[in-house]
Structure 1
């Protein structure tokens, strides 16, 4: 058993003059304060990777920078699924008695500390070095291919995809830390610059500076008790050229195992935090996870099903698409927002009931998946 005892999140956008370690430290300090713990209480550290600071020992570099001497340190790399993978690892370590309080942290100054071309080149290496990378595709290009196939198979339109961008922007308007605060419409998404057809600029998450952190503990440290109830992973492929059929991707495998581990069903879920690097990512994952039927998620978005006052509020901070995306910390913001919702501290964004939450992370091009259920314990 383990609890998420504290969370910390910086604003996303431009942080001129802040390094990745600075942003990680700021988020970590917020998380420790939230958990009412001191640095000496932390005996485990899990650190996400950084493309801006690709040090081979980033976890211990951060530990030194932050002034802690953990008995366990580990750096993790599974793309966008890293945040939840680290959470699952922290849960396992705490449950096994290896550590009592594990700090999970990530952050990057990807917007101000790395050129656009360098960022594109670094992320493109997710492709196969012989069969994909030499052809020049970028991450948006890979997802554009996936989107085209998905639209063909399930009758999804570009306007359908635009609905997710509009929803995430609407949610971001209520969060002061979000990178974007200008409302958008479906027409705005459709009129935005083509990036990798059928994906337009507003179908894609931005590049951001930011940091996120949380503490996973063996015992509650405050009156806010959020427990990790069950989690699971699935890794079906690495490269697009080796991917299985769209109906056989890892999200369905991971959620099935997580439901079994947690002893819950999708109908029990009251809040959802789902990875949304692109609108097609969110569309596919919502349907793979069972939150909507195939090709039907957009209709649910239009009907308000995933709005803040809907049946299953989704990414109420604005997600990667509008809160921003600073690498590993981008997806970790989903968990921070979930914790705030579950503990009644989301302010104007507060939903009616977040007693049981589903979180899902996606790494690579729908390659690595982590599903997780959190519950508000009494």
Structure 2
């Protein structure tokens, strides 16, 4: 989907994360979302009455929606939106929020995403993810997306003549970044031997190929560029592209919709893959990291092993939070996790994992698995003002 080139008039003013945790007690999805919004407002010294837009992404907030959360927060939005695009939700919400601010439909929009999974919640979600899953996969006892992406990884491995160690190098590299992220769930050093010796989940995937399910939330604030509460450290969107359901599940899943829009993305941004300082790609599985990076142009010669080496050596700063593979996947928050990490990096607030002088970032989203692979892909380029 082509986007207008002018993204002026709206800035990203804040990004927060409620630390992800495995099986926390006394937690609710609504409570996590409220915490995230409250922290985002506090970061800018905003009151609920200052907010006139709210966007929400969550699998487990149901039966509540954005407007229910607005009531709970004491907000009276002129613009509101629920999003259900999974790993693509964060960027999807951002796209609509930026346009809403540019159009004057709202002046300060809070975007929030998150989930808390109680006992049995995640299994219920994966078995009833959509009609296709419920009708065609659940009767096969497929046990969630691991089996689907095991087949995709096997195809990817064969197509590009990769081995398990190549995927393991990504998991190890991201764990290294996570060691400097106090909010990451898994920070213990991971070696390639640890990866190769881990229990098999679904051949060729092992435990460390699969994102750990956690509870948590993220929030962003998008506001008019001339708003009186704008902070000194602001981020602007320079390009944003989305492509949903490009092949109608007829291809092999080894290319996402990003391949169709990457050229326009970089052209609009006035940058290229070699010019960005920070990269956050949706990492539900290591193979998807490589697929999205290749689609975005980070392996122009098709040399995926070379790409793996650049990730492992940190010549390419990919998923500097540790990504979902080490920080955890908090349901719909996973689609906003990479955005918040990029914002922290561009604002110089990433602590021990800070990329010196970071001024630009590219972030991708990927999600909504049908019966073979995901249907939604999007990406945004952001720069520090």
| TM-score, normalization by structure 1 | 0.91
Unmatched tracts of structure 2, length 5 or more: 1-7
User: Which residue in 2 is equivalent to 1:9?
Assistant: 17
In 1, Cα distance between the equivalents of 2:171 and 2:106? Answer: 40
Q: CA deviation at 1:272?
A: 0.5
Q: What does the per-residue CA deviation read over 1:234-285, in whole Å, with 9 as the maximum and x for residues that have no partner?
A: 013587xx23245653121232332233233222211111100111111211
- Aligned alpha-carbon RMSD (Å): 2.1
The answer on whether the counterparts of 2:112 and 2:218 sit within 8 Å (CA) in structure 1 is yes
Partner of 2:5: none
Per-residue CA deviation, residues 169-191 of structure 1 (Å, 9 max, x unaligned), is: 11111111111111111221121
Matched, 1:154 2:160: yes
Structure 1 position 299, deviation (Å):
3.6
Query: Deviation string for 1:43-87 (max 9, x for gaps)?
Result: 01000022x3322x5101111111111111110111211111111
Moved more, 88-97 or 260-269: 260-269
Give yes or no for contact 1:163–1:298 (8 Å, CA) kept in 2: no
- Supply the distance in 2 between the matched residues of 1:248 and 1:318 (Cα, whole angstroms): 24
SS in 2 for 1:268: coil
Matched residue, 1:135: 140
After TM superposition, the structure 1 = structure 2 runs for residues 170-249 of structure 1, keeping only pairs within 5 Å, are 170-219=176-225, 221-236=230-245, 242-246=249-253, 248-249=255-256
1:10 aligns to what SS in structure 2?
strand
Question: Is 1:251 the equivalent of 2:263?
Answer: no
2:285 maps to 278
Greater shift in the superposed pair: 155-164 or 35-44: 35-44
Deviations, residues 292-329 of structure 1 (Å, cap 9, x unaligned):
2476344444355662xx3x311111111001101111
Secondary structure of the structure 2 residue equivalent to 1:98: coil
Aligned pair partner of 1:289 in 275, 280, 296: 296
Closer, same or farther in 2 for the Cα pair 1:132/1:114, shift >3 Å?
A: closer
1:351 correspondence with 2:359: no
Q: Distance in 2 between matches of 1:294 and 1:333?
A: 30
CA contact (8 A) 1:275 1:361 kept: yes
- TM-score of the two chains, using structure 2 as the length reference: 0.89
Query: What CA distance in whole angstroms lies between the structure 2 residues aligned with 1:306 and 1:225?
Result: 30
Deviation at 1:128, TM superposition (A): 4.9
Query: Is 1:318 matched up with 2:322?
Result: yes
Mapped contact 2:36–2:218 kept (Cα < 8 A): yes
Determine if contact 1:47/1:76 at 8 Å carries over to the other structure.
yes
Instruction: Say if 2:86 and 2:335, in contact at 8 Å, map to a contact too.
Output: no
Per-residue CA distance 1:27-49 (angstroms, 9 max, x = gap) = 11111122332211110100002
Unmatched segments (≥5 aa) in structure 1: none
CA distance in 2, matches of 1:106, 1:343: 21
- Conserved? CA contact 2:16–2:218, under 8 Å: yes
* Paired positions, count: 368
Post-superposition CA distance 1:120-166 (Å, at most 9, x none):
4244x474554444333321111111111111111111111111111
Kept in 2, the 8 Å contact 1:102–1:216? The answer is: yes
Q: Kindly provide the CA deviation profile for residues 66-113 of structure 1, in whole angstroms up to 9, marking residues without a partner as x.
A: 111111111011121111111111111111111111100011112x46
Q: Which of 58, 77, 96 lines up with 2:84 in the alignment?
A: 77
Q: Is the 8 A contact 2:254 2:291 kept in 1?
A: no
Give CA-to-partner distance per residue, 1:196-248, whole Å, 9 cap, x none: 21111110100001010010111161101210111010013587xx2324565
1:342 maps to which of 329, 342, 346:
346
Which one of 36, 42, 48 corresponds to residue 27 of structure 1?
36
Q: Structure 1 16/190 Cα, relative in aligned 2: closer, same or farther at 3 Å?
A: same
Counterpart for residue 364 of structure 2: 360
